[in-house]
Amino acid sequence: SAVISQKPSRDICQRGTSLTIQCQVDSQVTMMFWYRQQPGQSLTLIATANQGSEATYESGFVIDKFPISRPNLTFSTLTVSNMSPEDSSIYLCSVTDREGTIKLFFGSGTQLSVL
């Protein structure tokens, strides 16, 4: 499987600020996704990061709040904008395997706490 590097690994932020999370993959991958995992909850898909075009957002998530970039097939960023304590979560980058099947592999995650 691909090696997925995600940073920062954790951050503590003030209300109203923004944080950009980076996801770097060691090889070209077809699909990249961003998930959120709130405390004690399962994984919720935020959006599919599309290379060279706007991300595809799931219901309940909007571009103004979670802008996503994917300039190439190995890199993506997720920004959490105008943060509130409700945004405190683990944010995970995920990719399909090299063969482009539907097996998902996850980065190490970003633990975000908003004060």
Partner 1 sequence: QKEVEQNSGPLSVPEGAIASLNCTYSDRGSQSFFWYRQYSGKSPELIMSIYSNGDKEDGRFTAQLNKASQYVSLLIRDSQPSDSATYLCAVLFGGGSYIPTFGRGTSLIVHP
- Residues in contact with partner 1 by CB under 8 A are 1, 31, 33, 41-43, 45, 48, 90, 92, 102-109, 111
Contact criterion met (CB below 8 Å) for 68 and 36: no
In the complex with partner 1, the residue whose CB is nearer, 73 or 104, is 104
CA dist 13 to 18, 19, 108, Å?
Answer: 8, 8, 19
Least Cβ distance, residue 81 to partner 1 (angstroms)? 23
In the complex with partner 1, which residue's Cβ is closer, 16 or 26? 26
